[in-house]
A and B are shown apart, each in its own frame.
Chain A
Amino acid sequence: MFGLPDEFTPGFLARLEKLRIRTRQRYGGLGRGMHLSPKRGSSLEFNDFRHYSPGDDFRYIDWGLYGRSDKLYIKLFHEEEDLLTYIFVDASASMAYPAGDRKFESAILTALALAYVALASGDRVMLRVLGGSGGKVNPSFVNGRHRIVELARRLHNLKPGGQFDFATSLATELLAIRRAGKVFIVSDFLMLLNSVTRGLGMFTAASMDLTAVQILGGRELNGQGLDGDVEVVDSESGERLRVSIGDRERTQYRETMLRLTREIKSFCLGRGLHYALYTTDQNFQNFFVRAVSDLGLAH
């Protein structure tokens, strides 16, 4: 629909428009918006008092306080600004495997859906791609829901590929981001847990509100398509392992995969981060609607 993936039906877009991004902190924006800013401003949200100075607007004098203290105080209010939303999409080679699971396509769907929620709420969205090839995504803020089509076109040309160190790459990205805001990282997180925790920890340290969205293939999670003696090759490092896969081994593989996801989830929840897991054998629309809270969104 209008250059958007097929999953973005009018009904789904309508449901996305009812959502907004929820943050645990207040972040300053670049313009007026719907999120309370740490700045003082003219919203209805009371912030503080200060002594009246000549030139202040009489309308904000707290007359009640004047009656009790016989001094003039001005009521200060929070400012409401837009939210700066950063969406990181993992386009490393691992997102292309297993080919039948369409992990990268699912990651793009997730990123676009999150971006649409932000744009529909009047927030600014910056889409950043980790790794990948086939085109550059201009890392600049866009606002206005109509810009979702532009974002979709940019992502459409991307091909997953290459290898990067998750923590190092995120550190570099963090340096490029000047202003704090909401961060979504969409990845399969199939890397050493240490690298994941270091990478995510840096955003926490930078006072970013972060949601980790893990995308795993349905076949990948269950070890389907692998049977007997198999030489598995790591899509990024090229590391090779020869394994014999039978029913018992497949069960153990699945338990290992689930353990890895549990560890990431545990880390995120322990740091106050949001975490959502999407396996590609699920219906995407159903997942997104049901995982609103896990994604750090709200109605």
Chain B
Amino acid sequence: MGFLYPGALVFFALIPALVLAYLAKERPARVTVSSVLAFRALRGFRRERFGGWPRLDWMFFAEVFILSLAVLAMAGPFIWKKTAPLAVVIDNSAAMQALTPAGKSRFEVAREKLDAALSAEDGGGEISVYVTAPQPRRVAPPFNTLTEARIALSRIKPTDAPNDQTTLENFLGNLASEARVAKVIFAGSNALAAPVPARIHPIAVGDAVANAAIGSFSLRREALGAVALHASLSIANFSPDTRTLELVVTGDGKEIAHAREAIGARGTATLEFPAIPPARIYEAKLAPDDALALDNVAYATAGSVKNVSILFISPTPADAAGLNSIPGVEVTARTPDSYSPSDLGTFDLAIFEYAAPKEIPGVNTMLAMPPPGDPVFGLTVTPTAKVQIAGWRTTDTLTDSVNFRLLSLRGGEYFGTHPWMSQVVGGDGGAIVLKGERGAHRFVATGFNPFPYLGRRNLPMSVLTLNAISYLAGLGASSNGSRTGQPWLVPAGVERVILPSGSAVAAHPGTLFTAVSEQGVYELVGPGGAKTPRAVNLADLTESDLSSSAPLKVEAANSGSAAAPLMEKSSLGDYILAAIIALTALEALIVYRRRRTAEAAAP
């Protein structure tokens, strides 16, 4: 036994002082009475009492005892206890959902084996339970008993997210190196590569199983105004034989495409569907069924199918007439005086012509000839009577198919170097077109005003403008969606996210959304209840490969040594505190009852 704060024991010196103070307080009270005649007969009683004068109530001893316990508690008493802290790691990645020939999932088998392994432990130390996906983490503070650990294990469910193999290897290595962990039991579908650290006891579950999987499901719009979408899917056959796989794509529940493909052993194929009709949510299903149902399904969404809505803010709103002639574009024009940042909530992008917002807009934005001295974007503007193009990025989406030699610009302005927007088109006096991203939004600034010249009169100007709008509207880029386990930025205006399971999670724009362990379609709910779907897929062929899982290479600092039993300080403070509370409560109860009895006896 030892003390964390032995200095506190000096307070024991107070106890004799307190005893003396108590005795002084309990000194007989001097009372003048009319006559001591009747008291003479009582003197014998005092002499009969053991110890004589003064009379010490038993409660006095109880209080001294409580005081001693309090001083003892202050000193932080502890005892040394042999302990063997245990770390239990269960693989809860998507691959653990794969069914074994017995009909149970790999995860259930792993849990049963862990349960059996825990039964063999003596439970002499804390037990920490960890999961591996999407990132390794401890599920709860360490448990003191095996029963608690078993209960915690029974509550864990496998996720749809894959393991991050490198992170998992490092995590297991760190656990095996930690001095406070005597033993690590890891149950998962991946075997551990030799040499296995001495402290790690691996439990491998699941034999090699043939599996087919959808690797990716992406959509893209080929051109602005086009209604049909281009779908692209990659599928894989993780089996030793050639298999014919059938893929069915449905849009909002209706079958819109299907394909059959024979894929060789451990081979992959890409299926293209160049013109699939518009739908809100697309679902691809792979047949036949196999051990892992999760990767036989993939989702995609096509938010870009709808028209691009643009808020056009300009002192000359009539300039927006040229945009209205573009198919798939809806323009709402406003003057800067009638504009409010809250207006942006229902638009896909904003265009400021001869104007600049007073704060960074919450949507993708184009600035056409912004006025000098704008404090929000901090553009350095140099007006010029004749803008002369000197160069451009040939591989940029903004300059794609633009014949700059035919592009004639009149008056305009040059931009100076900008901290976060890069030059796309440059002239003699500086940049003419800038683009950049800020807070998950895209921004384009032009030193000329393209809108009055749209149409056949100035074809290069029209192409450049359409490129800019396409870039800002996110067209042309494939919409692969997100992957399970990978957080994404919450877009502007989103207040909450409804998960595929149906539960809603509050979300804050600009922050990372981490509740991404489920595969399916997430609904991003914006102002007024407007919902935007977002597809989240496993999309990890490594995870889907159930026939040849790569072994984990775990390296521990003390890989050669088995853990020696640890000596741990076990505090006695809680027990002492409990004793103090119990004794104090008992004393209070007795004092109360005594007082009640005395009051009842009083005339």
* B34 near A242: Cβ-Cβ < 8 Å: no
Q: Roughly how many angstroms separate A239 CA and B42 CA in the complex, as a whole number?
A: 15
Q: In chain A, residues 215-236, which have Cβ atoms closer than 8 Å to a Cβ of chain B?
A: 217, 220, 222, 224-226, 228-236
Looking across the interface, which residue of chain A has its beta carbon closest to that of B35? A190
- 27 A-B pairs within 8 Å (CB atoms) are namely A95-B34, A96-B34, A98-B34, A103-B34, A188-B34, A190-B35, A222-B603, A224-B603, A225-B31, A229-B46, A229-B54, A231-B28, A231-B29, A231-B30, A233-B33, A234-B35, A235-B32, A235-B34, A236-B35, A241-B40, A241-B43, A243-B46, A244-B49, A244-B55, A248-B45, A252-B42, A257-B38
* Chain A neighbourhood of B39, CB < 8 A: 232, 241, 243, 253
- Report if B120 contacts A (CB, 8 A): no
Q: How far is the CA of A94 from the CA of B34 in the complex (A)?
A: 4
Does B41 sit within 8 A of A, measured CB to CB?
yes
A262 to B222, CA, bound (A): 125
Contact status B36-A232, CB under 8 Å: yes
CB B58 to nearest CB in A, in angstroms, measures 14
Residue B37 is within 8 A (CB to CB) of chain A in the complex? yes
Q: Is A169's beta carbon under 8 Å from chain B?
A: no
Q: Is A260 an interface residue (CB 8 A)?
A: yes
- B575 interfacial contact with A, CB 8 Å: no
Contacts A249-B45, A253-B42; A230 near B28 (Cβ below 8 A): yes
User: Is B36 a contact partner of A253 (Cβ separation < 8 A)?
Assistant: no
C-alpha gap A46/B31 in the complex (Å): 60
Chain B residues, CB < 8 A from A260: 37-38
For B34, B37, B42, the residue with the greatest tally of chain A CB atoms inside 10 Å of its CB is B34
Q: Which residues of B1-45 are within 8 A (CB) of A? A: 26-43, 45
Binding site secondary structure of chain A: mixed
- A191 in complex: contacting residue of B35, B43, B49, B603, CB < 8 Å: B35
Is A138 close to B, CB under 8 A? no
* A230 touches which of B29, B34, B41, B602 (Cβ 8 Å): B29
Identify the A interface with B (CB < 8 A): 93-98, 103, 188, 190-192, 217, 220, 222, 224-226, 228-237, 239-245, 248-249, 252-253, 256-257, 260
Q: Are A226 and B31 in contact (CB under 8 A)?
A: yes
On whether the beta carbons of A228 and B55 are closer than 8 Å, the reply is yes
**Closest residue on chain B to residue A216 by CB atoms:** B34
Please give, as numbers and ranges, the residues of chain A lying within 8 Å of B31 by CB-CB distance: 225-226, 230-233
How far is A98 from B38 in the complex, measured between Cα atoms in Å?
A: 14
Give the distance in Å from the alpha carbon of A250 to the alpha carbon of B40 in the complex: 12
Q: Which of chain B's residues has its CB closest to A226's CB?
A: B31
At the interface, yes or no: B53 with Cβ under 8 Å from chain A?
yes
Q: Which residues of the other chain, A, contact B43 by a CB distance below 8 angstroms?
A: 241-243
Residue from B28, B33, B603 within 8 A of A234 (CB atoms): B33
Task: Please report the C-alpha to C-alpha distance between residue A188 and residue B34 in the assembled complex, in whole angstroms.
Answer: 9
| Closest 5 pairs (CB-CB, A-B) | A190-B35, A94-B34, A229-B28, A256-B38, A97-B34
CB-based contact B33/A235 at 8 Å: yes
**Residues of A with C-beta under 8 A to B45:** 243-244, 248-249
A97-B34, A237-B36, A256-B41 given. 5 additional CB < 8 A pairs? Answer: A188-B35, A234-B33, A235-B35, A241-B42, A260-B38
Residues in B with CB closer than 8 Å to A230 are: 28-31
Contact call A249/B42, Cβ cutoff below 8 A: yes
Given contacts A222-B603, A229-B54, A230-B28, contact A252 B33 (CB under 8 A): no
Residue of A nearest to B38 (CB): A256
Bound CA span A95–B35, Å = 10
CA distance A145 to B180 in the complex (A): 104
B178 CB to nearest chain A CB (Å)? 62
Q: A252: which of B27, B41, B602, B603 is its contact (CB, 8 Å)?
A: B41
Which A residue sits closest to B47, measured CB to CB?
A244
- Which residues from B are CB-within-8-Å of A192? 37
Q: Range of interface residues on chain B?
A: 20 to 34
Q: How far is the CB of B395 from chain A (nearest CB, A)?
A: 101
Residue ID in chain A nearest B598 by CB atoms: A227
A93 neighbours in B (Cβ, 8 Å): 34
Contact B35 A233 (CB under 8 A): no
Distance, CA A245 to CA B83, complexed state (A): 57
Q: Are B53 and A242 in contact (CB under 8 A)?
A: yes
Chain A contacts for B36, CB-based, 8 A = 232-234, 237, 239-241
B597 nearest CB neighbor, chain A only: A247
Which chain B residues lie closer than 8 Å to A231 at the CB level?
28-31
* Interface hub of A94, A220, A231, A243 (most chain B Cβ within 10 A): A243
Bound complex: CA A190 to CA B35 (Å): 6
What is the bound-complex CA distance between A244 and B31, given in angstroms?
12
Residues of B within 8 A of A240 (CB): 36
Given contacts A229-B55, A244-B49, A252-B42, contact A220 B33 (CB under 8 A): yes
Q: Which of A97, A188, A229, A239 has its CB near the most chain B CB atoms (within 10 A)?
A: A229
A94: chain B residues within 8 A (beta carbon):
34-35
CB pair B53–A229 under 8 Å, yes or no, is: yes
Q: Which residues of B contact A188 (CB under 8 A)?
A: 34-35
Greatest chain A CB density within 10 A among B26, B27, B31, B42 is at B42
The reply to whether B41 and A190 contact each other, CB–CB distance below 8 Å, is no
The residue in B27, B39, B53 that gathers the most chain A C-beta atoms within 10 A of its C-beta is B39
* Given A229-B54, A231-B28, A253:B40 Cβ within 8 A: no
With A229-B53, A243-B43, A244-B45 known as contacts, the answer to whether A253 contacts B28 (CB < 8 A) is no
Closest to A188 in B: B34
Q: A97 touches which one: B33, B37, B41 (CB < 8 A)?
A: B33
Q: Nearest residue in B to A95 (C-beta to C-beta)? A: B34
Chain A residues with CB under 8 A of B54 = 229
Residues of B within 8 A of A243 (CB): 39, 42-43, 45-46
A55 to chain B, nearest CB (A): 63
The A-contacting residues of B in range 401-418, CB under 8 angstroms, are none
Across-interface contacts of A229 in B (CB, < 8 A): 26-29, 46, 53-55
Closest to A257 in B: B38
Are the C-beta atoms of A242 and B46 separated by less than 8 Å?
yes
Which residues does chain A contribute within 8 Å of B33, judged by CB atoms?
97-98, 220, 232-235
Contacts of A232 in B (CB 8 A): 31-33, 36, 39
B29 to chain A, nearest CB (A): 5
Min CB–CB distance B26 → chain A (angstroms): 7
Q: Give the distance to chain A from B24, nearest Cβ to Cβ, in Å.
A: 12
A93 CA to B37 CA, complexed, in Å: 15
Please name all residues of chain A whose beta carbon is closer than 8 Å to the beta carbon of B26 when the two chains form the complex: 228-229
* Cα-based distance from A201 to B29 in the complex (angstroms): 39
Q: Which residues of B contact A191 (CB under 8 A)?
A: 35, 37
Residues of B within 8 A of A239 (CB): 36
Given contacts A228-B55, A229-B55, contact A253 B38 (CB under 8 A): yes
**Closest beta carbon of chain A to B49's beta carbon, Å:** 7
Cα separation A274 to B449 with both chains bound (whole Å): 133
CB distance from B30 to the nearest CB of A (A): 5
What is the CA–CA distance of A57 and B224 in the complex, to the nearest angstrom?
A: 164
* B:42-81 near A, CB below 8 Å: 42-43, 45-46, 49, 53-55
Least CB distance, A146 to chain B, in whole angstroms: 35
Chain A residues contacting B55 (CB-CB under 8 Å) are 228-229, 244
Q: With both chains docked as a complex, state the minimum distance between the C-beta of B309 and any C-beta of chain A, in angstroms.
A: 91
Cβ of A244 and Cβ of B34 under 8 Å apart?
no
Chain A residues positioned under 8 Å from B49 (CB to CB) = 244
B37 touching A242 by the CB < 8 A rule?
no
Q: How far is the CB of B531 from chain A (nearest CB, A)?
A: 79
Question: 1/0 per position for B519-555, CB-CB distance to A under 8 A?
Answer: 0000000000000000000000000000000000000
Is A190 in contact with B34, judged by CB distance below 8 angstroms?
Answer: yes
Nearest-CB residue, chain A, relative to B57: A228
Across the two chains, which residue of chain B brings its CB closest to A247?
B601
Output the least CB separation between A168 and chain B (Å). 17
How far is the CB of B598 from the nearest CB of chain A, in Å?
9
Which of B31, B40, B53 has the most C-beta atoms of chain A within 10 angstroms of its own C-beta? B31
| A257 CA to B34 CA, complexed, in Å | 12
CB distance from A121 to the nearest CB of B (A): 33
List chain A residues, Cβ under 8 A from B34.
93-98, 103, 188, 190, 217, 220, 235
Query: In the bound complex, what is the Cα–Cα distance between A43 and B54 (angstroms)?
Result: 72
